[in-house]
Structure 1
Amino acid sequence: MDLLLGIDMGTGSTKGVLVDTAGSVIATETIPHSMDLPRPGWAEVDAEAVWWREVCTIARALMAKMPGGGRLAAMCVSGVGPCLVLCDSDHRPLRPAILYGIDTRATAEIDALTAEFGEQNILDRAGTLLSSQAVGPKLEWVRRNEPGVFARARGWYGSNSYIAAKLTGEYVIDHHTASQCDPMYATRDFDWNREWAERISGHIPSPRLVWPSEVVGTVTAEGADASGVPVGTPVVAGAVDAYSEAFSVGVRAPGDQMLMYGSTMFIVQVIDEYHSDPALWTTAGVAHGSHALAAGTSTAGSLINWLQTVTGGASFDDLMAEARAVPPGSEGLLVLPYLAGERTPVFDPQARGVVAGLTLRHTRGHLFRAAYEGIAFGIRQILERFDDAHSGTRTVAVGGGLRSPIWAQTVSDVTGRSQLVPEQAIGASYGDALLAGIGAGVVPATTDWARIAREIEPDPANQELYEELYAGWRELYPATRDQVHRLANLDRREPQPIV
């Protein structure tokens, strides 16, 4: 019996799944972890101590659960991204991995590279303007601020391509992840922007490009010794975890969308032809030769967790009961959920959270409902931009945030869109297992394991109210931007000693 191993390194945990070629789950494993926030605007992970160690631990645990007569046909690993892992010639990380758009350290480098190459040129050649999501400015930041690290580097990786290198020794990156390494990749052409890539990476060569379902190599003796995966096992490239998860739930056809409810919200839509929008990310897709649009917020579930902490740490069930007792619209309360800056569509690392309309009669429950509504307004703003490329025809909802009895329903009410919830909720690792099977040739490329369990439909009774509130919410950011920027600059000053 052929079996497939999928492992995903997420923001809050690493998860693995062992499945058969019909998509039936044999076993799962999870290891929680956290990111490091050493300075304001920085978000890092120790790639070797966290990602590599946890992948090896999970792989060993799942290999121990292989049924008799089972054969591991292939494995695939995805991870958070786009990230930057700089390694020496022995695949040893030279510094902590710099995480995706929640790490906003490279603002000066974004401005400098934009001035050097030209904003319109970047949009034309790379497909996406530079933001905190882009890898190019992060690499430039290391060159400028840690020249010793940069000089010793012999390869740069994303989270999943770092693991592929540890397992196989191959220096590769998948097209999807590369397409978020702006401005170094030409998304329209599925190739490196060679002149710009060489300018930014200097002496470090660009990795070989592969598609997410391609076999990049086989597990070496060293990789097998560390992970417990048999020598010679094919390793498939994988992608950024959100895209592996979209693939796992059948988001394949043009117009298909995925809304991922997690610490942040991430949205993916498959498109039928190349489309560039300065307020979104245009990327290579998972399927060979495909394109997608993507967007992501800087906070979502993390905002809810923060509110839970600062309002006294009540149980999640109690807080949801309080929020459900508040009518839609939160009785005149609006929230800008920009507590960690914002990614799409405003691309403003200096954005900050705003609560408008607060009165003495508002309660903790009002704040929680208004926070969910603020997140939902942001999703509507993004989906309206997606519609300019290809109207959404099918929306699939995934992620741990679906545990909330309010969140997804509010998104449907605010956006007017139904959401399909899949039966299998394992996540990106399940998509990785499917990619492994496709890459190894043990399942057809058209295989789709997704089954829909339920549908969340918008409540028409709330449509008029949310139309009015959405109009006000859209005015809130431009009306407060200058003031919160001044406050953000104050926050960056060195703290004064307390005397």
Structure 2
Amino acid sequence: MSGELLIGIDVGTYSSKGVLVTQAGEILRQHVVPHGISLPTPGHVEQDAETVWWADVLAILRELLSGPYTGADVAGVALSAIGPTLLPLDGEGRPLRPGILYGVDTRAQAQIDALNAEIGEDAIFAHSGMALTSQAIGPKIRWLREQEPEVWARAHTLTTASSYLTFRLTGRHVMDHHTAAHSMPLYDPRTRTWTEEFAAPVLGDRGLDVLPDLAWSDELAGHVTAEAAVLTGLREGTPVAVGTVDALSEAVSVGAVQPGDLMVMYGSTTFFILVQDAPTPDPRVWTVGGAFAGQHNLAAGMSTTGSLTRWFADEFAREQPDTGAAYDALFAAAAALPPGADGLLMLPYFSGERTPINDPRARGVVAGLTLTHTRAHLFRAVLEGVGFGIRHNIGAFRDLGADVRRVVAVGGGAKGRTWLQIVSDIGGETQELPEVTVGASYGDAFLAGLAAGVLRREDLSRWVRPAQPVRPNPALKAEYDRLYGLYRDLYTQTRTTVHALGDG
């Protein structure tokens, strides 16, 4: 099998996963490395590029390329990671500080306000196809320039997590178009290039040469260098794909690549990617490039979903021997309760919220508590709160005229039927669940095959096999419609209060 296998590695918020796959999509080996995040101050969410991202990649490669397999068996590699993130590098490609994470990091609100005032909200939207939010990298670059001038003075390259890992393998700084679109207002989605038009308010007197090259996710970034070969066990000269953010690779992993396909990724956050043949810009959501040349994506993301269930298990199910046992007990208890958790309603905005409300100052709210409620009721309210948020996002897509034809579920939260059924019941959506739901690393392996020239896009149909769909229960529609209205009202009625609490 010399030079025939494919490796995909994804670095996520709380863990990294890698797979070794045949060209037919058969998984030969997989490995997971858990890690954490750093919360140095409220609103700041970071990870270390060396001790987390790169260390995880090395650990995964050591595991995959052991036993019967070696680097000589690998035809191509692709990596994805959390994004968009911001990582400044010095002239030798060394990280100057921990990576600043995606929209869950809300530090740059003052810079968002300043850019909106200096450039104009309408001008930014007309240029970028979306409004500035905590997901945007441009304001975080300005934050770095203003708040850490010593780091800024030494910064030679401004990159993102997946691009940094690709650089470590190939020596080339390159970013995919999907991620670059979030570097607003530095990226022009019409020309698919970096642009000087609004660069000065972000970069100051620095030029666009601090930004990586641009390419599509499935294109060839380069080849494994001699230095990387020694560190990783990969063969020098092995093709490496450009790669992308985890959510886009996740969409590829489940075959959500045709116009009208909507991927809902149940991870630490919930991410949405709708494939389009033409963009439909709206300030509530994100208009970005797709995985392949010429494609468009309408994207959205919630801030705390899987991370909220993990927090709940860690804090309120400590008697369980491990996290898996805690989840099993919590989901079983929640499944036995009726819709609405006997009068409880939760806003899942525990780290602010991204789309469609785009409110970094939002907070979690639990309404309706009585002395009769139990831990199980609260956990059911968590699951339903996320379900209402998912309905809110899909509804926003449809409100702006986007064509949602098929919903495909993927991610760790999609492994159990209870949460999927709740979401389908709340939103009235049938969700397809592919037979293989390994996640973004599986999509990365496919991208690796495309970049190496050993696969074609049509081969994805052999990799993705559908399983039993999750269909909504029509008998619950009226009750969940009522509760969804209350959910929407709860945010507007508590917004001023939770903003004041956060400000205090």
TM-score (norm 2): 0.94
Q: Give the superposed CA RMSD.
A: 1.6
Aligned mates of 1:389, 1:131 — CA distance in 2: 22
Secondary structure of 2:44's aligned partner: coil
Other-structure match for 2:440:
428
Aligned mates of 1:163, 1:69 — CA distance in 2: 18
Matched residue count: 490
Aligned mates of 1:23, 1:84 — CA distance in 2: 32
Secondary structure of 1:83's aligned partner: coil
Aligned mates of 2:59, 2:315 — CA distance in 1: 35
Find the partner of 1:351 among 344, 350, 362: 362
1:142-167, Cα deviation, whole Å (9 max, x unpaired): 10010010110110111111011111
Other-structure match for 2:160:
158
Aligned mates of 2:306, 2:242 — CA distance in 1: 29
Secondary structure of 1:142's aligned partner: helix
Shift of 1:307: 2.4
Aligned mates of 2:378, 2:499 — CA distance in 1: 23
Other-structure match for 1:218:
223
Find the partner of 1:439 among 451, 459, 470: 451
1:192-232, Cα deviation, whole Å (9 max, x unpaired): 23332354232452211110001011111111122121111
Find the partner of 2:465 among 451, 463, 476: 451
Q: Which amino acid aligns with 1:48?
A: E
Q: 2:87, 2:158 within 8 Å by CA — same for their partners in 1?
A: yes
Q: 2:85, 2:102 within 8 Å by CA — same for their partners in 1?
A: yes
1:115 aligned onto 2:126: no
1:250 aligned onto 2:252: no
Other-structure match for 2:105:
103
Other-structure match for 2:335:
324
Q: 1:251, 1:257 within 8 Å by CA — same for their partners in 2?
A: yes
Q: 1:185, 1:197 within 8 Å by CA — same for their partners in 2?
A: no
Find the partner of 1:460 among 442, 464, 474: 474
Aligned mates of 2:172, 2:370 — CA distance in 1: 59
Other-structure match for 1:18:
20
Aligned mates of 1:322, 1:74 — CA distance in 2: 45
Q: 1:88, 1:154 within 8 Å by CA — same for their partners in 2?
A: yes
Q: 1:271, 1:389 within 8 Å by CA — same for their partners in 2?
A: no
1:350-376, Cα deviation, whole Å (9 max, x unpaired): 111111122222222211111111111
Pairing 1:238-387 to 2, within 5 Å after superposition: 238-314=243-319, 315-387=326-398
Other-structure match for 2:214:
209
Q: 1:3, 1:70 within 8 Å by CA — same for their partners in 2?
A: no
Alignment CA distance shift 1:67-1:225 (3 Å)? closer
Shift of 1:312: 4.5
Secondary structure of 1:452's aligned partner: coil
Secondary structure of 2:272's aligned partner: strand
Q: 1:188, 1:274 within 8 Å by CA — same for their partners in 2?
A: no
| 432-441 vs 195-204, which moves further | 195-204
Pairing 1:30-45 to 2, within 5 Å after superposition: 30-45=32-47
Q: Which amino acid aligns with 1:311?
A: F
1:255-312, Cα deviation, whole Å (9 max, x unpaired): 1011111221111111121111100011101011110011111111222222233334
Secondary structure of 2:41's aligned partner: coil
Aligned mates of 2:31, 2:345 — CA distance in 1: 40
Q: 2:65, 2:71 within 8 Å by CA — same for their partners in 1?
A: no
1:312-350, Cα deviation, whole Å (9 max, x unpaired): 425322222322222112122211111111110111111
Aligned mates of 2:423, 2:161 — CA distance in 1: 30
Aligned mates of 2:343, 2:71 — CA distance in 1: 62
- Percent identical pairs in the alignment equals 49
Q: Which amino acid aligns with 1:484?
A: V
Secondary structure of 2:433's aligned partner: strand
Q: 2:71, 2:233 within 8 Å by CA — same for their partners in 1?
A: no
1:38-93, Cα deviation, whole Å (9 max, x unpaired): 11111111101211122122223322345489632111110000001110111100
Secondary structure of 2:31's aligned partner: strand
Aligned mates of 1:159, 1:8 — CA distance in 2: 10
